């Protein structure tokens, strides 16, 4: 992905983004996980258009789920860390390419199921009640402007 094509880098103020890392304690399908979250909260998470990452050999699709908090007018977005689908664009002819048919947005955090993002500059993820025994506590994580995921989140905002 060519970042220069997406943004005029001189016009952007780079600030770190605070996100939450969500790890599931049990392997459950996404629809069941969000059904339980919607039952516990006054939020209604629904599936949105997938986040698409364009690699050299594959296009990767990452499911997104969004909801708006009625009182604070905050948008919360869960993005799957692992691609759910990939479409091959061209055949790999090199032996040691780093691109496979499955991609993680956070390569160093493969045990993370979802990346939680908020429209607020200083998000408070504690307003989302998570199902007990299904989810570990949300881990705060800061993305710097040099990270690839930072640019992807900025593009989809």
Task: State yes or no: pLDDT of 4 exceeds 70.
Answer: no
pLDDT band at 7 (very low <50, low <70, confident <90, very high): very low
Q: Is residue 12 part of a domain?
A: no
Instruction: Please tell me the chain's helix, strand, coil percentages from 3-state DSSP, rounded to the nearest 5.
Output: 20, 35, 50
Domain that residue 113 falls in: 17-156
Structurally, how many domains does the chain consist of?
A: 1
Query: What is the mean predicted confidence (pLDDT) over 3-7?
Result: 43
**How buried is 110 (Cβ within 10 angstroms: 0-12 exposed, 13-18 middle, 19+ buried)?**
exposed
Helix (H) or strand (E) holding 35: helix 30-40
pLDDT in tens, 64-87: 999 988 877 888 999 999 999 999
Q: Is residue 11 part of a domain?
A: no
- Mean of all residue pLDDT scores within the chain: 83
The reported pTM is 0.80
Q: Is residue 4 part of a domain?
A: no
Task: State yes or no: pLDDT of 11 exceeds 70.
Answer: no
Ranges 21-25, 119-123, 145-149, most confident: 21-25
The percentage of the chain sitting over the pLDDT mark of 90, rounded to a whole number, equals 44
């Amino acid at each position: 992905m060519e970042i220069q094509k997406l943004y005029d880098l001189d016009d952007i103020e780079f600030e770190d983004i605070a996100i939450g890392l969500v790890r599931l304690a049990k392997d459950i399908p996404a629809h069941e996980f969000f059904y339980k979250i919607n039952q516990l909260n006054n939020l209604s998470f629904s599936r949105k258009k997938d986040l698409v990452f364009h690699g050299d050999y594959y296009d990767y699709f990452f499911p997104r789920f969004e909801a708006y908090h009625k009182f604070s007018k905050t948008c919360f977005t869960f993005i799957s860390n692992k691609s759910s689908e990939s479409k091959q664009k061209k055949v790999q002819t090199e032996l040691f390419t780093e691109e496979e048919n499955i991609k993680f947005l956070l390569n160093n955090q493969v045990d993370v199921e979802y990346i939680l993002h908020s429209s607020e500059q200083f998000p408070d993820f504690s307003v989302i009640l998570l199902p007990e025994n299904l989810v570990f506590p949300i881990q705060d994580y800061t993305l710097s402007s040099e990270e690839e995921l930072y640019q992807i989140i900025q593009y989809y905002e």
